[in-house]
Structure 1
Amino acid sequence: MSEKTPGQQKSAGNGRPTSKSKKEDFLIVGLGASAGGIQALKEFFAHVPKDSGIAYVVILHMSPEHESKLAEVLQVSASIPVIQVRQGAAVKPDHVYVIPPNQNLAMTDRHLSLTNMIAAQERRSPVDLFFRTLAETNDSRAVSVILSGTGANGSMGLKRIKEGGGVAFAQDPAEAQYSDMPQNAILTGLVDFVLPVAEIPQKIFSYNEHRGSVQIPAAAEEDFTDEQALRDVFVHLR
């Protein structure tokens, strides 16, 4: 298991900071998956409470038939609303936003924008495209989670997340139905936590509690005080 992390204010124990911060100062978690990802997503949201104070955006790279029913499939496991994204949707805490079929999803401020997939690269890398805009607009409030899937979709995007001061998670490849996506993410050397999917939500809540109190190197500074950063993480998150 690989662990490094930043951290912010004290929390009530559910992952939500208790100090009076700006309403927009909440985490946005981007979850990327493809083959085998539906089961992993169901497991993830089964462990998310109603009041984490965090927003979740799901990018599932699969056939349109699977994508079109994703919101209703995930709603069975989730205790918070699961919504298929509409153009210009404002992102709110304690909601799950799901990408529609044959669309690319981007983050603009705290809103989601949709575009039709045109280029071949866009069809191959919708997770990378979303992670990039998530990082550009949310900095350290951005979280990436790579789940089961084939190929390397998401690996480039998580680098942007790290450059912006966010945190990166990957499902343990040993339990993923298809290990390529999490394994390729891990090979970047930038993933902070490699965990069974059922354990990822609680670690995100812990990160949210300590956000700002622990500093770790960004992607470009990966070698700087790395050992000390790891020691800080163990103190704050265990």
Structure 2
Amino acid sequence: MPSAKKADSATSPVRDIVVIGASTGGIQALLELVRTLPHDFPASIFVVQHVAPYAPSLLPELLSRESALPAKHPRDGEQMRPGVIYVAPPDQHLLIEQDKVLVKSGPKENRFRPSIDALFRSAAYGYGPRVIGVVLTGYLDDGTSGLWSIQRLGGVTVVQAPEDAAAPFMPLNALEFVTADHVVPLAELSALLVRLTAEPASATPA
């Protein structure tokens, strides 16, 4: 007889979409995070890190060097795969839709391109309870409305503990408007993501 956990997994979606937003201090935070993610991490990871619009980004190379998972700037329209870290290119929005990664040069959103809110919202509306949204260190408030959308549509919301962040303002702004499911220091984030991806998600938004 199958276990209750297996039966639940068969009828519930899995959390296989992780979206992460970061700004000031984010590169170091992301490097620390990916160092401890396992090589068989089952979810696709999408990252918006605010960078200068016309400077080349070496973030995928830096992350790949530190992580057991490959990181890349995706091509527009490529199929998303689990266990891959997709990084928004400079001055391009990163979106997901119908299991494809979209890279678009649309208008700035919330003063930014790439925009954390744009990524988070596309994940929330496309994948609902399958999404884990993470706001890391940074200034201003990009990511707050997107995290709210993720929670409203049944996803899990995670915010770096403000006192642990190099720049606490993005986490503080997110927590002002979203009652996050988890508020954790960076050192605990990898283990939390592994646990959340192993749990079945709700079949429908709350």
TM range (shorter): 0.7 to 0.9
1:172 aligns with 2:161: yes
Cα drift, residue 185 of structure 1 = 1.0
Residue of structure 2 aligned with 1:110, choices 92, 95, 99: 99
2:115 to 123, 126, 130: 126
Unaligned runs of 5+ in 2: none
**Structure 1 partner of 2:47:** 58
Counterpart selection for 1:204 from 175, 193, 199: 193
Counterpart check, 1:81 vs 2:78:
no
Cα deviation for residue 204 of structure 1 reads: 2.0
What SS class does the counterpart of residue 168 from structure 1 fall into? strand
Deviation at 1:210, TM superposition (A): 2.6
Question: Cα distance, 1:144 vs. partner?
Answer: 0.5
Aligned residue-pair number: 202
Compared with structure 1, are the counterparts of its residues 95 and 133 closer, same or farther at alpha carbon in structure 2 (3 Å cutoff)? same
Gaps of 5+ in 1: 1-7, 11-16, 219-238
CA positional deviation for 1:65: 6.2
Q: 1:175 deviation in Å? A: 1.4
Corresponding residue number in structure 1 for 2:79 = 90
What secondary structure, in the 3-state scheme, does the structure 1 residue paired with 2:141 have?
coil
Partner of 2:103, secondary structure, is strand
1:66 offset after TM fit, Å? 6.3
How many percent of aligned residue pairs carry the same amino acid?
31
Residue 43 of structure 2 aligns with an amino acid whose one-letter code is I
Q: Which amino acid aligns with 2:59?
A: L
Aligned-residue offset at 1:208 = 2.5
Map 1:120-159 onto structure 2 (within 5 A).
Answer: 121=110, 123=112, 126-159=115-148
Q: For 2:5 and 2:45, how far apart are their aligned partners in 1?
A: 20
Shift of 1:26: 5.0
Shift of 1:211: 2.1
For the residues of structure 2 that align with 1:162 and 1:67, how far apart are their CA atoms?
A: 33
Amino acid paired to 1:104: H
1:105 and 1:130 in contact (8 A); partners too: yes
Single out whichever of 57-66 and 165-174 deviates more from structure 2: 57-66
Instruction: Show CA shifts across 1:70-89 (max 9, x none).
Output: 10111121111111111112
The residue number in structure 1 matching 2:24 is 35
The one-letter amino acid of 2:69's match is: I
Compared CA separation, residues 115 and 217, structure 1 to 2 (3 A) = closer
Structure with more relative contact order (C-alpha pairs < 8 Å, separation 6 or more):
1
Check the 8 A contact 1:60/1:67 in 2, yes or no: no
Q: What does the per-residue CA deviation read over 1:38-94, in whole Å, with 9 as the maximum and x for residues that have no partner? A: 000011111100112111001011214666111011112111111111111211111
SS of residue matched to 1:56: strand
Deviations 1:85-129 (A, max 9, x none): 111121111110011111011111111111114346462670001
Cα separation, partners in 2 of 1:148 and 1:179, compared to 1, 3 Å:
same
> Contact 1:58–1:96 at 8 Å: present in 2 too?
yes
